[in-house]
């Protein structure tokens, strides 16, 4: 279903929210997705990368899933695998994170993006806001960003904007 959506239109940002796990035997993270029968399907970095191959418009993949950035051996994690397969910027979670913390920081992150911040600056500000609002809660340190380059802008703010009523959005 994700591949079909991505094939229909160019998206610059993909946000996947759900459960994540890390397999220490295979040194890789997995996302828990739902298959066509409604049961869990563990999706590996390789499978997700294969889904995203050819989606050159995707500049940022936000993985709001526990342990989606974890790697015990360098260059074996989900995020690095996705970057190696063409995704320029990946945000994910280094460890387990609570739903409230993840959604709160994601909301703040997107708010800062709309204020014309770069991806790295928006994530930094979201983490700082969460830390300031939740003293003693160290979940602000869990989100991380991997980038292939220094440019973490995903929107060309010089282009004319499209009125909201004319925009198409997709949620699956």
pTM for the full model? 0.83
Q: Residue 24 has what pLDDT?
A: 85
pLDDT, position 27 = 79
Q: What is the largest CA-CA distance in the chain?
A: 49
- Is residue 118 within 8 A of residue 152, CB to CB? The reply is yes
Of these ranges, 33-37, 144-148, 153-157, the one predicted with the greatest mean pLDDT is: 144-148
Contact indicator for 80, 52 with CB cutoff of 8 Å: no
- The mean pLDDT of 119-137, rounded to a whole number, is 94
Q: Are strands 60-64 and 40-44 parallel, antiparallel or unpaired?
A: unpaired
pLDDT of residue 167 exceeding 60, the answer is no
* DSSP three-state, residue 39: coil
Sheet with 40-44: list strands edge to edge.
19-23, 28-34, 40-44
């Amino acid at each position: 279903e994700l591949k079909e959506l991505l094939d229909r239109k160019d998206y610059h940002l993909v946000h996947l929210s759900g459960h994540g796990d890390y397999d220490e035997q295979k040194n890789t993270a997995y996302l828990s997705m739902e298959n066509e029968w409604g049961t869990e399907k563990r999706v590996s970095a390789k499978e997700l990368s294969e889904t995203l191959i050819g989606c050159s418009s995707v500049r940022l993949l936000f993985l709001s899933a526990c342990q989606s950035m974890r790697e015990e051996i360098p260059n074996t994690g989900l995020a690095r695998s996705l970057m190696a397969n063409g995704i320029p910027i990946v945000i994910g979670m280094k460890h387990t994170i609570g739903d409230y913390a993840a959604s709160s920081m994601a909301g703040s992150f997107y708010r800062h993006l709309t204020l014309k911040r770069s991806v790295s600056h928006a994530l930094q500000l979201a983490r700082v806001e969460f830390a300031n609002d939740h003293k003693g809660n160290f979940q602000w340190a869990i989100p991380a960003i991997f980038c292939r380059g220094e440019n973490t802008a995903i929107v060309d703010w010089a282009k004319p904007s499209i009125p909201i009523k004319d925009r198409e959005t997709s949620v699956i």
